[in-house]
Structure 1
Amino acid sequence: MTEQNHSEQDHYGLIARFAGPEALVAATLSAREAGYRRLEAHAPFPVPGLAEALTFRERGIPLIALSLGATAAAAAFFLQWYTAVIDYPFVVGGKPLNSWPAFLPVTFQVGIFSTVMAATITMLAKDRLPHYYHPIFNCDDFARASADGFFLSVRGGDPAEVEDFLRAQGAENVRELML
Structure 2
Amino acid sequence: MAERNTPYAVLGEFSKTDVLLGAARTLREEGWRIEVFSPFPLEGLAEALDWQETRVPRSFLIWGVIGAVAGFAMQVAATRDFPLDIGGRPLVAVPAFLMITFELMILFAVFGGIAAMFLANRLPRLHHPLFDAQRFGLASDDRFFLAVMVGKGCPSSEEARAALWRLNAGEVTEVGESEVS
Shared fold (TM-score, shorter chain, > 0.5):
yes
TM-score w.r.t. length of structure 1: 0.84
Show structure 1 runs of 4+ deviating over 4 A: none
TM-score w.r.t. length of structure 2: 0.83
Q: Secondary structure at the match of 2:123?
A: coil
The reply on whether 1:158 has 2:153 as its aligned counterpart is: no
Letter of the 1:10 partner, please give it.
T
Unaligned runs of 5+ in 2: none
- Aligned counterpart, 1:89: 83
Q: Secondary structure at the match of 2:135?
A: helix
Q: Secondary structure at the match of 2:92?
A: coil
Decide whether aligned partners of structure 1 residues 83 and 169 sit closer, same or farther in structure 2, where only a CA change above 3 A counts. same
| Structure 1 contact 10–178 (Cα < 8 Å) conserved | yes
Moved more, 160-169 or 12-21: 160-169
What do the CA deviations read for 1:89-144 (whole angstroms, capped 9, x no partner)? Answer: 1245x472333322121111000011111111112112221122221000121111
Q: CA RMSD in A?
A: 2.1
The one of 17, 31, 34 aligned to 1:39 = 34
Cα displacement (A) at 1:164: 2.6
The one of 7, 11, 26 aligned to 2:22 = 26
Unaligned runs of 5+ in 1: 1-5
Decide whether aligned partners of structure 1 residues 35 and 111 sit closer, same or farther in structure 2, where only a CA change above 3 A counts. closer
The reply on whether 1:77 has 2:75 as its aligned counterpart is: no
Letter of the 2:96 partner, please give it.
A
**1:1-179, aligned counterparts within 5 Å?**
10-36=6-32, 38-84=33-79, 86-91=80-85, 94=87, 96=89, 97-156=91-150, 157-179=155-177
Identity %: 34
